[in-house]
Amino acid sequence: MLRRLLTRLYTHLLKLYPDRFLDEFGGEMSDVFAQALPGLVDSGTPPATRRVKMAGLFFREVWYFPFAYLDARRYQISLGAGETPAGGASYGEGEVTETWVGRRASWGAALVGALPFLLFGLAYLLKGVAELSGHYQPTFNLLGGSLNRPAIILTAPMGVYFVCVLGLLFGVSKGFPRWSYTYLGMSLYFGWYYSNGRFYGVNYDSWAWLPLFAAIILGLLLTRSLQPLARLLQGAWNDWTRLSLALYGFMPILTIVFFDDDWGVFQLYGLFFDTVVLAAGAVASLRSRTIWGRVLSLGAVVLILVVKGILGGWGPSSDEPLRTLYFVFSLTIFYFGFLLLPAVIGLLKRGVGALSSR
């Protein structure tokens, strides 16, 4: 069972390689890995030792993956940008055409796109547990040879920022596939969030944007091309819901506003609920085939989070039903309207099409 699981995980890891490299070597690499697993042990090896050795082989591949990826990228660049291997696109998700609108992400890509929201919720759950335990300020004492363990937990949201930046880097190098827009949006959210406040005595200011811009620049350097940016613009023009998905990366702010770091057991349960709902909304949007199916999936999440926040005591008192309904309506319209801002691109595209047809 472990061998099948590791083989499947390794197959998903291979999908991060450049398309042309994967078309040429992916099958062989997968076969070699699958054949290496049973060759690690003999019939007399204890089961526990066998599992440890197989897991060690997989994590060794994960450890060396960044270096192997750079080699694969250099190999693809050395081939030039000419022909496209049969059965696959030479870059990103294929040609930037109207078919993008009706194409939905695979389950694997949808789960990858939902990962930032899951990590966001996990990080703040850990932070909330640490604060409930009496730890409010991270203390690092590296020179003294010790590290305050709660410091890592309290700063876990910043770790999520760097995970999102890393995902954005892969997204840029892959030509901005649809799943990468959640990483772009949440990276923008963290850059804005950390640049507009003081966190544990540190003002990051404009430095908070550095990881985001570094990821984009490094991605462009890896591809040695501005084609990723061109595909970003072309993708937004052909399918404006991609930008709505990027703006959806700001929706965790609803959780931050409602809790305001006032942690309690009820807030922890609420944050778990928000995490599941946010991730489910991203998966539903990525799996939908229609424009409005994608947008309404995100809008439904906004409505659920707003109603849950009101029921949790944020907003007008419960003895004012009309005011509460108005509050729910106005907040939902505000945030849903925020997600619908890219629809202007769709209207502009329709107008250009109407003028060109005359």
Q: Per the domain annotation, does 85 fall within a domain?
A: no
Bridge partners of 198, per DSSP, are 203
pLDDT for 309 equals 75
Q: What is the pLDDT of residue 134?
A: 64
- Residue 148 domain flag: yes
Pull the structure tokens for residue 122. Answer: 């996990």
Q: Is residue 96 included in any domain, yes or no? A: no
Q: What pLDDT, on a 0 to 100 scale, did the predictor assign at position 126?
A: 79
225 and 307 both lie in a single domain: yes
278, 308 contact by CB (below 8 A): no
Report the predicted TM-score, pTM, of the whole model to 2 decimal places: 0.69
Q: Do 92 and 81 contact (CB within 8 A), yes or no?
A: no
Task: Specify whether 280 is located in the same domain as 338.
Answer: yes
Q: How far is CA 209 from the centre of its chain?
A: 17
Q: What is the structure's pLDDT at 291?
A: 87
Last residue of a domain, one of 38, 60, 79: 79
Q: Determine the residue type at 354.
A: A
My answer on whether 67 and 137 are in the same domain is: no
Per the CB < 8 A criterion, the answer to whether 306 and 257 are in contact is no
Can you tell me which residue has the tokens 């410091």?
151
136 in any annotated domain: yes
CA distances for 21 relative to 66, 91, 110, angstroms: 15, 11, 23
Q: What are phi and psi of 135, to 5 degrees?
A: -105, 115
If asked whether residues 185 and 242 sit together in one domain, one would say: yes
Burial class of residue 343 (count of CB atoms within 10 Å of its CB; 0-12, 13-18, 19+): middle
Question: Do residues 130 and 262 both lie within one domain?
Answer: yes
Q: Are residues 268 and 218 in the same domain?
A: yes
Token output for 143 = 């020179």
Q: Are residues 340 and 270 in the same domain?
A: yes
Q: Using CA atoms, how far apart are residues 107 and 335, in angstroms rounded to an integer?
A: 27
How many distinct structural domains can be found in the chain? 2
Token pair 């998903």 is found at 12
Domain's final residue, options 28, 60, 79: 79
pLDDT at 137 (0 to 100): 56
Asked whether the CA dihedral 39, 42, 43, 49 is positive or negative, the reply is negative
100 in any annotated domain: no
The beta strand positions in 308-357, using DSSP E, are: none
| Residue 123 CB burial class (10 angstroms; 0-12, 13-18, ≥19) | buried
- 147 phi, psi to nearest 5 deg: -135, 125
Instruction: State which residues form the domain around 188.
Output: 107-356
One domain, residues 267 and 148: yes
**289 is a domain residue:** yes
Do 132 and 200 belong together in one domain?
yes
* Interatomic CA distance for residues 276 and 117, integer angstroms: 8
Q: Which of 180, 186, 185, 178 is nearest to 238 (CA)?
A: 178
Looking at the structure, tell me whether residues 121 and 173 fall in a common domain.
yes
Token pair listed for 101: 């609108």
Distance CA 146, CA 48 (A): 33
> Cβ(4)–Cβ(58) under 8 Å?
no
Closest CA to 243 of 295, 199, 204: 295
Q: Is the domain of 126 the same as that of 268?
A: yes
**Regions of the chain with pLDDT less than 50:** 81-98, 139-147
Nearest residue to 217 (alpha-carbon basis) of 204, 229, 208, 206: 229
pLDDT value for 33: 80
pLDDT value, residue 337: 87
Does residue 50 lie in a domain region? yes
- Same domain as 111, residue 256: yes
User: For 305, phi and psi rounded to 5 degrees?
Assistant: -70, -40
